[in-house]
Structure formats: structure tokens, C-alpha cells
Structure 1
């Protein structure tokens, strides 16, 4: 019965979102109430379960999410992201142009959400493609691979940040392992897959694309943008702070050094909330005040960023509510019982469940959140489990097979001017290769950490 109710709930969610085009947040809320009733949660406890799910999820990530959006917007509005992309492209040269796009997209992707990074980088990619007389998708595939891998694996993106909080994994460790896993994933799903895609679907490499829907693009004169070094440092600053804190903590544990005020300060600065706040303050200066940009204009960028993520925050909260209903309704415990005599790895289980939900629901973030609700109870009976790798496996599974129920699918289709077949053969296949490569890398990493 518990699994039947989950199945019906997921089917109901798909119908509401795909067929009736109902808002994703409302759909999640309606399904959460319906599944709670179906699982037999007492009427007096349903509302509190949903409130706890939303509050617990948003309480952990709202600050990181909001500050991260503001940081990304400041880097973009100042022309810093444009400077990073163009400098790397010029340094790598024409022959290695794909690798330049990979590095630029990876750096920009860390600071910005997938859709924002896509909208920002696509005009640059199209401009370079026209200048070099190459198909836009030749640069588009590496760009999409880098943006998707940062979205799926690396905090402060909502998916990995939320999942890490749900599992109780250290975000700094997730970031460190995520970068290790991300590199082979980007290589396989980016430059390597481009060569395969050219043979599988040659017609996609004949399309010139259409980005008129993005409206008039903000143009920058390179001499008017912030310097490359300061732009790169600003975009990467939260990652640098969290990485330094994680590495020092690992050294402390390995060497058996007792905690003191130095380690306390390092941990405080490396905390994702603190790291994001410090990075935003740095960005306000480097991308704004330090360049004589009025503080009012800087504030307007921050306000616009906060406004743009309102619905995404609600959707994440709705996913948290659904997750909590699954936990309180005993679904997780039921699955844990089913697998109690099984030797299946929690890492593999998390990937499989996330992949199934991703294909069913479309939203990677919702799929990841729902997965955590099913997997958390099982972790308690698994003995020692590397929670950072389970987090990455969940994010990895939630990246698989983007298709018609995912907004990213339609963005890629329209911008590159693809048919449905061409979109499936490029974007859907790319996301699947990335997900499978990620799982293999995570399982290999699990042997050594």
C-alpha cells in the first residue's frame, strides 16, 4: 500500500503539471495533502507535517539560495561573467574553443542557476559560433554539460544543498567530492559526446538556432567590464571559502589535532551561510562600489535577483513538504524493510530512485527532494555510509534523461531551433550520459574514501 500510494501520488503530480499545466508549487501541495490522506496520517497531523517539511527545507537553504542568486546577478549585471567567458575563449584559442566554453560555463555555472547561466551564456556562444563559422550546438553541448553538472553536483545550487541538508552531509565535503566527480562527467558529456552526436544526429549541426525570444541582449564593451582576475575571484569566492574550510577540517581529523579557536573560526567562515554572505559583501564592492557604480543600482540588481527566485523557493518548499509526508507516512521505513535483507548500495538505491522520479516528474530538484524522503530511513540501517556520496548520487540520478516534462528540454529545443528528435538525440542523451558517468565515478570514489 505505501508504494502504491507513492506511485499514485507521482502519477497525480505528473497529470497536474503536464496535462493541466497547474503551477508546480500548487501541484506539489495538492499531492502532498492527497498522499498524506492515502498513507493514513491522522487529519490533525497532516498540516503540521507539511509545514514541518516546508519549514525544515527552506530554513536550511533559503539564505544560501537567496544570497547565491544575488551574487550571480551582480557578477552578470556588472559584465563580470562576460569578461570571464570572453577572456577564457581568447586564451584557449580557436582550436580548443570547446574547452574554453567548458571552463567558462563551469565557472559561471557555479555562481548561477542553470536557467540563468543558460540565458547568459547562449548569446555569447552564438556570437562565437557566427564569428568562427561553426554550428552553435558544437559549443552548446559543452556549455550545457558544464551548466548541468554544476546544477546537479555543486553547492550552493539548490539541489545538492537541499539534499545535503536532508541527509545531514557536510556541504564542504559534498563540494569537494562534487568537483572531483564533475570533471570526468563534463568531459564525457561535453567534448567527447559532441563527436558522437555529430554522427548520431548530423542534422542538429546544420541548425543556426534562434535566440530572439531572449529579447534585446545587454552588450558590454570588454574595457568597461571588471578585470578577469577580480571577476573570477568574485564568482568563485564562496567555493574557495568552503573548500579551504573543508580541507583544513580534513587535515585536522586526519592528524588528530584538537579543536581550538582557529578551527572554530575556520569552520564559521566555511559555513555555507557565512561564506555566501561574505562573498556577497565582496561582490557588492568588487562588482559595484569599487567600480563607482551607485549603491542604488547595486541594490536594484540584488532586488531583481531576489524577486526572480520567489517561485523557485516555493517549489523547493513544496518538494520538502512532499518529502516529509513520505517520511511521516512511513514510506521510507517500508522501503527500508523491503531492502533490509538486500545488499544493494545506498548510493545505487539513491541514484535509481532519483532517476525514476526525475523521468516521471521532470524537475531535478523535486525528484532529489522526494528521493531523500524515501532513502533517509534506510540509511539508519546501513551502518557506515558516506553521506556526501549518497548526496551526489541523488543529485546525479536527478539529472538523467531530461525530456518533455522538463523546462530545460524546451529551452534547448527553442534556442537551438531543434526538432523533437534532435532535442532527444542531443540534450536528453547528454543528460543521461552525464548521469551514468557520474554514478560510475561516485561508485569508484566510494572505494577510496
Structure 2
């Protein structure tokens, strides 16, 4: 019965979002109330459950998410992202242009959200494709694969950050393991898949592309007016560097049995995601702004605009957290856990399967990942030695699968590259599925060693 009620709730969510075009946050809130009532929760506890779900989720992510948005906007508006992309492309040359696109997109993708990275990189991809007289999708698939990997695997992106908080996983380990898994995954889904896909849907690879007019007016940068490549790269990667140093030293301390002292305490403090993002933002204000004689007021306006642009996304994440809490407090997670009692299914595989099903049904990778955590948390409790960082990555990986008509990214790719429905399915949808399955394989391999 609980699964039937949840199934009806998911169906209602799909109808509200896809059929009636209702705002995603409002749809999540309505479904949370409906499912809570359907599960027989006491009416007096429903509101407090939804409030605690939103509060616990946003309390963990709001700071990282907000600071990350400001950092990304500063790098973008200063021309730092443009410098990173163009330098790498020029260095690698025509023959290795796809590798250059992958690296540039990966670096830009770590610092910026999927949609922001897409808007920044598409004009560059189209101009290079025109110069090389090739179809933009030859560079588009590697770019999309890199952006999708960073979006679903790596903090400070909302999905992995929120899931890590829900599972109680160490964000630093999620980041380190995520990078290890992301590199081979993006090579297979970005480089190798492009070659195979040319044979599957050749018509997509002879098109000149669609139109990027929908992106709107883009800033035009002269390369000499942008920050240097080294400064831009360091600024974009700074939070990752801080978190990775902290995690690696922490792992060395635990492995070597070194007693915790003030040095490790300070390193842990600096490597905390909240601290690392704040330090990185202050660093970016200097490197991308003050050092280049940009007025502090203008930098403040950039940060304000970035914060304003993510307002609805934060509410959607909060709505997903509310739905997750309803699933937990309503007993759905425990019910599913009871179904798996006595079975030997890997929690990593289970998290991936649940996230994949919800992603296909709901469209939103972030909402699918959040809902998955509500169903999987009680099951994880029965596995004493479960690797929470890898379960986090498996959830994010599952939420990347099979982007189709209920996902906004599907339509973005279709329109920008001028594809038919069939061509979009055979490129973007198929690539996201290959990426998800490949990522799962590497997660299971890494699980055998850590």
C-alpha cells in the first residue's frame, strides 16, 4: 500500500508539472501534503514534517549553493571562463579539439551550474565548429557529457551536495571519489560515444546546428582583456583544491593512526565545504575584480544578481527535501527496507535503480536524487559497512539517466542544435544513459578497493 500511494504521488507530480505546467516547487509541496495524508500521517504532524524536511535540506545546502552561484557568476562575468575554454582549445589544437572541449567543460562545470556552463560554452562551441567546418554536435556531446558529469557527481553542485548531507556522507570524499569516477566516465560517454553515435544517427552529425539566439545577448570578450589562464583556472578550482587537500590529509591521518591535533583541526576547518566556498569567493572577488580595478560595488551587484537567479532553484530543492521527509516519516523507507530484508542487493545498486526510475518519471535530476534519499536512507541503516560517499555518487549517477521530454535539458539541446525528436533521443538521451550506466560500473569497481 505505501508503494502504491507513492506511485500515485509521483504520477500526480508528473501530471502537475508536465500536463498543467504548474511550478515545480508548488507541485512538490502539493504532492508532499497529498502523499502524507495518503500514508495516514497524523494531520498535526504533517506541517512540521514538511517544515523540517525543507529546513534540514536548505540548512545544509543554502550556504554552499549561494556562495557557489556567486563564485561562478564572478568567473563568468570577468571573462575567466572564456579564457579557460579558449586557452585549452588553442593549446590542444584541431586534432585534439574534443579533448580540449572536455577539459574546458569539466573545469567550467565544476565552478558553474549546468545551465550556466551551457550558456557560456555554446557560443564558443558553435564558433569553433564553424571555423573547423564540422557539425557543432561533434563538440557538443563531449561538452554536454562533461557538464552533466560535474552536475550529477561533484560538489558544490546541488544534487551531490544535498544527497551527501541526507546520507551523512563526507563531502570531501564524495568530491575525491567523484573526480576519480568522472574522468573515465566522461571519456567513454563524451569521446568514445561520439564516434559510435555517428554511425547510429549520421544525420545529426551533418547539420550546421540550430540557433543559440535563445541564450540571449552574450558578453563578447577580447582575450587580452580577460584574467590570465593560470589565475582563472586557480580561481575556478580553488574550492575543489581546498576540499581535496582537507580530505586527503584526513584520510592519511586515519590510515596512519595519527592523533588529531591543531594542524588537522585547522585543515579540516578550511576544507569544510562552507568555509572553502567562502574563502574561494573572497579569493575570486580579489582575482576577478579588485586586482583588475573593477569597483567593489559592481562586484557586489554581480553577487546579488547571482543570488537572485537561484531563488527558485533553492525553493525546488527545499520542496524536494519536504517530499523526502514525508517518505521517511510516513514509513515508506522502512517498508521498502523490510522488502529487502534477507536480500544481498548492493545499496549502491539499489540507490542507482531507485534514482534512475524517479529520474525517468520526474525529469528533474535534483528532485529524483532527493526523493531517492528518502526511500534509501532506512535501507542503508541495515548495512553497517556501506560506503556512504559511493552511495551518494550512485544516486547522482542514477539521476543522470535517460533525459527525455519531461526534462528541460532535452528541449534545450533539441532547439540549440536544430535536431528532430529522433535525433535528440539518439544523441542527448542516449548519451545521458551511457554516462549513467558507465558511471555505475566505475562506482562498483571503486567500491571493491575503498
Shift of 1:132: 1.1
| 3-state SS, counterpart of residue 142 of structure 2 | helix
CA–CA distance in 2 between the matches of 1:133 and 1:29? 49
The residue correspondences of 1:47-446 to structure 2 (distance < 5 A) are 47-208=47-208, 209-446=210-447
Shift of 1:215: 2.0
| 3-state SS, counterpart of residue 131 of structure 2 | helix
| 3-state SS, counterpart of residue 288 of structure 1 | helix
Shift of 1:324: 0.1
CA–CA distance in 1 between the matches of 2:243 and 2:170? 10
TM-score scaled to structure 1, two decimals?
Answer: 1.00
Aligned to 1:31: 31
Listed one character per residue, the Cα deviations across residues 284-339 of structure 1 (whole Å, up to 9, x for unaligned) are: 00000110011111111111100110000000000000000000000000000000
Shift of 1:207: 1.8
Shift of 1:184: 1.0
| 3-state SS, counterpart of residue 287 of structure 1 | helix
Moved beyond 3 Å, runs of 4+: none
CA–CA distance in 2 between the matches of 1:277 and 1:159? 20
Shift of 1:216: 2.1
| 3-state SS, counterpart of residue 156 of structure 2 | coil
CA–CA distance in 2 between the matches of 1:356 and 1:23? 22
| 3-state SS, counterpart of residue 231 of structure 1 | helix
CA–CA distance in 1 between the matches of 2:217 and 2:358? 37
Listed one character per residue, the Cα deviations across residues 377-400 of structure 1 (whole Å, up to 9, x for unaligned) are: 011111210000000000000000
Shift of 1:195: 0.5
Q: CA RMSD in A?
A: 0.5
Q: Which runs of 5+ in 2 are unaligned?
A: none
CA–CA distance in 2 between the matches of 1:15 and 1:185? 33
CA–CA distance in 2 between the matches of 1:259 and 1:213? 54
CA–CA distance in 1 between the matches of 2:100 and 2:305? 30
Listed one character per residue, the Cα deviations across residues 111-131 of structure 1 (whole Å, up to 9, x for unaligned) are: 000011001100000011111
Are 2:134 and 2:206, in contact at CA under 8 Å, matched by a contact in 1?
no
